[in-house]
Amino acid sequence: MTSRLIHIAVVAVAALVFSGLAAGQSAPYKFDLGAQLGVSGYIGDANSANLMKHPGFDGELSFRYIADARWAFRGVFSTLGLSGNTADMKNVLPDQAQYEFTSTVYDLGGRVEFNFLPYGIGETYKRLRRISPYLTLGIGVCMSSSGGNTSVAPTLPMGFGVKFKLSERWNLGAEFTMTKAFGDKIDGPLLNDLSGIKTAFYRNTDWFSRLTIGISYEFGKRCETCHYVD
Q: Which of 46, 97, 87 is nearest to 207 (CA)?
A: 46
d(CA 69, CA 122): 11
d(CA 93, CA 218): 51
Task: Reduce the secondary structure of the chain to three states and give it as a string.
Answer: CHHHHHHHHHHHHHHHHHHHCCCCCCCCEEEEEEEEEEEEEEEECCECCCCCCCCEEEEEEEEEEECCCCEEEEEEEEEEEEEEEHHHCCCCCHHHCCCEEEEEEEEEEEEEEEECCCECCCCHHHCCECEEEEEEEEEEEEEEEECCEEEEEEEEEEEEEEEEECCCCEEEEEEEEEEEECCCCCCCCCHHHHHCCCCECCECCCEEEEEEEEEEEEEEECCCCCCCCC
pLDDT, position 229: 47
CB atoms < 10 A from the CB of 143, how many? 14
Highest mean predicted confidence (pLDDT) among 76-85, 139-148, 172-181 = 172-181
pLDDT, position 89: 56
Backbone angles phi, psi at 191, to 5 degrees: -65, -40
Q: What is the pLDDT of residues 99-151, one digit of tens each?
A: 677 899 999 999 999 999 999 987 666 789 999 999 999 999 999 998 788 98
**For residue 156, is it left (φ>0), alpha (ψ between -120 and 50) or beta?**
beta
Given a contact cutoff of 8 angstroms between Cβ atoms, the answer to whether 183 and 154 are in contact is yes
Confirm whether pTM is higher than 0.85: no
Q: What is the pLDDT of residues 177-207, one digit of tens each?
A: 999 999 877 876 655 544 455 544 444 568 9
d(CA 60, CA 185): 22
CB atoms < 10 A from the CB of 113, how many? 24
Q: Which of 133, 173, 120 is nearest to 12 (CA)?
A: 133
The architecture (CATH level 2) of 2-221 comes to Beta Barrel (2.40)
Q: What is the pLDDT of residues 25-71, one digit of tens each?
A: 778 899 999 999 999 998 877 776 677 778 999 999 999 999 999 99
